Amino acid sequence: MPKKPKRFLVKDLAWPGKVLLNANDSHHLQHVLRLKSGDPCSIADESGRQAGAVVSAVLPSGLVEVTLVTPPAGTQKNFHIIVAQAIPQRGIMDSLVQKAGELGVEFLIPLITSRTQVRIAESALKRVTERWHRIAVEASKQSGNAVTKIGLPENFEKVLERRNEFGNIFLAHPGAEPIDFKSVIAPASQRTLSRNDRRSVLILIGPEGGFSEKEIGEAQAKGACIFSLYRCVLKTETAFVSIVSLFRYLLESDWRVCRPCFRGNDTGID
């Protein structure tokens, strides 16, 4: 089986045309992969569109120019996932940004709750968010997803004030009832969505100590579904990956695959 061409990321793709790789990718292409003029590669932009390309030239600056050979194309999802994740301790957020990119999270909001212990100083905010963006870009190159957008840290109350920007809202809480799968794929209104519509799902994941009762009550007042996955308390990293993986599977499959696996009524819940 022929080896899959290396995938590089640029800001935007214009067809027909040529694009320049950045300094890091240009160096990697020339000195690590040792690609030459005419060799194939894959180019993607931050929105997730991809195109086939060939190496066309190395400029005097050292940057590599590639020529698109196929029109940019991407897979349009009929959903998008936004996660508001309470900022964890010990630098775990870097890992969660990477997992968000690998799992196809469209937008990640670093969340500040009443129990969040980590506060990012204003002087360090630009440096930290730039690092998160670099991690998200690398995850996009590896996974083939669009680049996850990373927001600035927001207070829990501020996120809820933006309620109208989202469709369904879910809040993870270990003391809640296990999630009803049908609630994940149900549209925010009772109308039937066409395949061109996009479900907007906001998932709120708390800090190590969980959300406060006050925050849970505020989320419920905004129409949030309070749910758990298991009858146990999960570590932040485990909860994030488990929750986002489940939601993406249910939304992407539209439950067509997993519905026959359950007995009982048409909700899939006995």
CA distances (Å), origin 231, targets 170, 241, 243: 17, 17, 14
pLDDT digits over 81-120, tens only? 999 999 998 789 999 999 999 999 999 999 999 999 988 9
Q: Provide the whole-model pTM.
A: 0.77
Q: Mean pLDDT lowest for which of 17-31, 54-68, 82-96, 225-239? A: 225-239
Q: Is the pLDDT of residue 194 over 70?
A: no
Domain ranges of the chain: 7-68, 79-260
Q: Is the pLDDT of residue 220 over 80?
A: yes
CA quadruple 260, 263, 264, 269: dihedral, nearest 10: -80
User: Across the chain, what does the average pLDDT equal?
Assistant: 83
Q: Which residue has the higher pLDDT, 246 or 191?
A: 246
Structure tokens at 159: 């996120």
Over residues 128-140, mean pLDDT: 92
pLDDT digits over 3-27, tens only? 566 778 888 888 888 889 999 899 9
Residue located via tokens 């249910």: 250
Q: Where does the pLDDT of residue 257 fall: very low under 50, low under 70, confident under 90, or very high at 90 and above?
A: very low
CATH number of this structure's domain 79-260 = 3.40.1280.10
**What amino acid occupies position 104?**
G
228 three-state secondary structure: strand
pLDDT digits over 18-52, tens only? 889 999 899 989 999 999 999 998 888 887 788 88
**Is the CATH code 2.40.240.20 the one for domain 7-68?**
yes
Q: Is the pLDDT of residue 258 over 70?
A: no
Q: Where does the pLDDT of residue 259 fall: very low under 50, low under 70, confident under 90, or very high at 90 and above?
A: very low
Residue located via tokens 């440096």: 127
